[in-house]
Amino acid sequence: MEIIRGLHNLSQQENGCVATIGNFDGVHSGHQHILAQLCDKARANNLPAIVITFEPQPQEFFAPKLSVPKPSVPKPSVPKQSPARLTRFRDKAEVIADCGIDKLLVIHFNQSFSQLSAPEFVQQVLVDKLGVKYLQVGDDFQFGKDRCGNFKTLLESGKDFGFIVESTATFSLAGERVSSTRIRQALEAGDMELTQSLLKRPYWMSGHIQHGAKRGRTIGFPTANVPLHRATPAVSGVFAVRLWGRDLGVCKNTIKHSPDSDKQGMDGIANIGYRPTVDGLKGLLEVHLFDYDGDLYGKLVHVDFLHKIRDEKKFDSFDLLKEQILNDVVEAKRYFSK
C-alpha cells in the first residue's frame, strides 16, 4: 500500500479512484467490512481503492490542549476532550494495508484545512485532486467547516460532478453497532474477549524496544520497554500478553506466527500505564517475557493484549510490588495453560 502524506503529494496518477473517508481508529470489524466493499468496487471498475484520513484526527485538533492526569488523580471535568486513540497511525496503516487498500491519503488537519467549506472540500479534494468516481461514507457523515456538509450534500455534489455516492450499512455484533467507542468501553471494562470480537483480532500495540531505568531487573523481572507515543493510552493495567517480532533470540516458550512465518511469539505479562510506584510521569508499556534471557533493544515488536489481570496500583515498597508480580505471573501462566 502506498501512503501519500498531504494533498500536495498527489500526482495525476491518482486522478480516478474509489474512495472512503474517516478516522478508522482501531480499524475494527465494521471498518474492515467497509474496506472490503471498497476493494470489491475498485476491482470491479479497475480503479485504485483509496482511504482518506486525517492527522491529527479532527477531534484531537479541536480538543482542549490539556496535560494528561495520572490515573491516581481525578480527571478534570472538561467538555469535548478527545477520546484516547485505539491505534497510533503506524499501526492503523498496517491494518488498513492488510485489508487490501491500494493507497492511504493522509491529509494534515490544521487551521487552514479546518476552514474549508463543504463545497470547497468536494471541489478541491474529491474532484480536483482525486477525481473520485465512487465514494463510500456513512449516512451520518459530516464534513467541512462547522460540519455543514453531510450525506445529502455529497449526493447532490455527485450529481453535479459525476461521481456515485453510496452509504455504508451499520455493522453490528450481538445486536449492537460496532464502533470505536464501544471498543474503548470494552477495554476500560477489561473485557478482552469482547474487544477481540469487535476487532476480529487481539488488541495490540507496536513499537521499538528502548532502554529504561532497569528497575525491573533489580527485583527479578526485567522488562522490555515500549514507548506509547500517544497522550492517553486506551488501555491500562496488567495483562497476559504475547509479544511478536523477528530475530528475537531463544526463549523456551517461543511459538511461530504461522508455519511459513519468520515472526516469533513469546508469552509474558505487561504493565501499561504510569508506574505509580515509581512516580512515573509518562505512559509506558513494559513487558516481562517468561523464560527469556536475550537482548531486545531496538527491535520492532508487536504486543497482543490477551487477558486483563488487574488494574495498575501503587505499592508502598518494591518488596510488595515483587510479591504482586509473582502472583500476576501465576495468573498469566494459568491463562496460557488453558
Task: Give a yes or no: residue 12 inside a domain.
Answer: yes
CATH no. for residue 253? 2.40.30.30
Domain boundary among 173, 190, 225: 173
Same domain flag for 251 and 155 = no
What are the cell numbers at 300? 520492532
User: In angstroms, what CA-CA distances link 288 with 176, 223, 275, 285?
Assistant: 36, 5, 14, 10
Q: Do both 42 and 90 map to the same domain?
A: yes
C-alpha dihedral over 148, 149, 150, 151, to 10 degrees? Answer: 160
**pTM score over 0.75:** yes
The CA distances from residue 76 to 26, 66, 70, in Å, are: 26, 9, 11
Please give the C-alpha separations between residue 257 and each of 19, 262, 266, in angstroms, as whole numbers: 32, 7, 10
Sign of CA dihedral 172, 177, 181, 184: negative
106-157 pLDDT tens trace: 999 999 999 999 999 999 999 999 999 999 998 788 999 988 999 999 999 9
Q: Which residue has the cell 485505539?
A: 86
Q: Measured between alpha carbons, how far is 129 from 178 in angstroms, rounded to an integer?
A: 32
The domain total for the chain is 2
Burial of 241 (0-12, 13-18, 19+ CB in 10 A): buried
Decide if 112 is inside a domain.
yes
In a domain, 190, yes or no: no
Do residues 119 and 29 share a domain? Answer: yes
pLDDT class of 180 with cuts at 50, 70, 90: very high
Say if residue 151 is in the same domain as residue 220: no
Percent residues over pLDDT 90 in the chain: 59
* CB atoms near residue 161 (< 10 Å): 14
Write out pLDDT tens, residues 237-283.
999 999 999 887 766 666 666 555 678 889 999 999 876 555 555 67
- The answer on 211 and 118 residing in a single domain is no
Q: For residue 287, what are the domain limits?
A: 203-337
Q: Are 209 and 247 in the same domain?
A: yes
